Amino acid sequence: MFIGWDWATETHDVTVMDPAGKRVDRWELAHTEEGFAQTLARLRKYGDPAGLPVAIETTRGLAVDRLLAAGHPVVPVHPNAFHAMRARWGASRAKTDAGDSMKLADYLRTDGHLLPRLEPTEQATLDLQALTRTRADHVEARVAAVNQLAALLDEHWPGGKAVFASLDSDIAIAFLERYPTPASAAKLTAGRLEAWCKHHGYSGKKPGSVLIERLRAAPKAASRLSEAVVTQLVRTQTALVQSIRATIRALDKAIAEAVETHPYAPLFATMPRIGKVSLGQVTGEIGPILERAQTCEQFIVEVGVVPVTRASGKSRTVAFRYATNRRARLALTTFADNSRHDSTWAAKIYNDARARKKRHPHAIRILARAWLRVMWACWRDGACYDPGIHQANNKIHTAAEAPLTA
């Protein structure tokens, strides 16, 4: 039997089809516990869940989790691919929930052998992945909050924006909390500003005379808001930035603790320039792909650091791969970019690519592809990365080579 599941936020539609393409059963269920329980029980009437694959247009969510927990093989179908197939069921490309569940079941019946199936991911990997993805969302929110703060200062206090851009982030936020308006900073002098910065642990890259000059040289705002309102706006925005920074620090601590106990983390922990957060991102995003990949080449393709070749007749193009796991590619390329500053082997691969006139992003993907082969070998053999053995096996001798230009 083949099952098509058309999912939505409030209701779902399910179709059961036999190997001959005949619709055996079809029903609609509500997005409730009773609806899921009754549907899973109804599906069990058609056999063992392990022999009842389900086609659905998503890779995650409550429906996918419940199907996997019940033992059903889940076959995710990309919505674009499914849309391209609609012409086989009629030129009008009509769309209804009942019709989509039937089409999904039929698509699974005819092409299911070509479609990959979801495999349950290790619990520790899921936990780490959730932590690192939440951290990435909070970092994005922090950037947005800081940009909003900069726009607020630009409109109501350009001098404060000039000082804010000159100081370390922690010191800059403390400065705005203490001096949120031009009037509050009117009596500042170079000496007082330098002493205040030193009291708050400023590194001292810019002396007080430079900071006060930037403060005074900035144009005056033409804001018609009262000082009390500007004070409230600036302090509210700085409080938002501080709160997001606090959540990021808490997530960093949780990620570090999760990495310490993760079974895959020791395999990659000794790689160059891979900190706790980067190790958590690589393990959380690369781990699930490692678990299901059958070959090294499949592993590399799914991470998305190889281009897509399109050839037809005399036409042939090699283009950037857009359809891939974006988070996994970002985690890997970030690590690869850092690794070249602490690994002779990685630096040589990057510099060789640049010497071949590759742009920086392309050279980083080439280096990332090389690191994936190393990760695959570590995973396959269950051996932790050893930089000494790795460089000895690759016979890196850069001293005798002419320096490469970037």
Question: Looking up tokens 């009390």, which residue turns up?
Answer: 228
Report pTM.
Answer: 0.79
AA identity, residue 372 = L
Evaluated on CA atoms 32, 33, 34, 36, the torsion sign reads positive
The DSSP code sequence of 335-402 is HHHHHTTT-HHHHHHHHHHHHTT--HHHHHHHHHHHHHHHHHHHHHHT----HHHHHHHHT---TTSP
pLDDT beneath 70, residues of the chain = 391-406
CB-based burial of residue 41 (10 Å sphere; 0-12 exposed, 13-18 middle, 19+ buried)? exposed
Distance CA 152, CA 140 (A): 18
Contact 17, 1 (CB under 8 A): yes
Percent pLDDT > 90 in the chain is: 43
**Can you give the pLDDT at residue 406?**
34
Residue 62 gets which letter from DSSP?
H
Start-to-end Cα distance in the chain: 58
Contacts of 33 by beta carbon, 8 Å cutoff, 6+ apart: none
The whole-angstrom separation of Cα 110 and Cα 158 is 64
Domain residue spans of the chain: 2-114, 126-255, 266-394
In sequence order, the 6+-apart residues with CB closer than 8 A to the CB of 166 are 172, 206, 210, 211, 214
Give the pLDDT confidence score for residue 392 in this predicted structure: 62
Q: How confident is the model at residue 160, as a pLDDT?
A: 85
> How high is the pLDDT of residue 349?
93
pLDDT of residue 85: 84
Q: What is the CATH number of domain 2-114?
A: 3.30.420.40
Instruction: Tell me how far apart the alpha carbons of residues 276 and 281 are, in angstroms, rounded to a whole number.
Output: 9
Give CA–CA dist 193/200, Å, rounded. Answer: 11
Query: Which pLDDT belongs to residue 95?
Result: 81
Question: What's the CA gap between 70 and 87, in Å, rounded?
Answer: 33
CATH class belonging to 126-255: mainly alpha
CA angle 393, 398, 404 (to 5 degrees): 130
| Cβ neighbours of residue 171 closer than 8 Å, sequence gap 6 or more | 197, 200, 201, 202
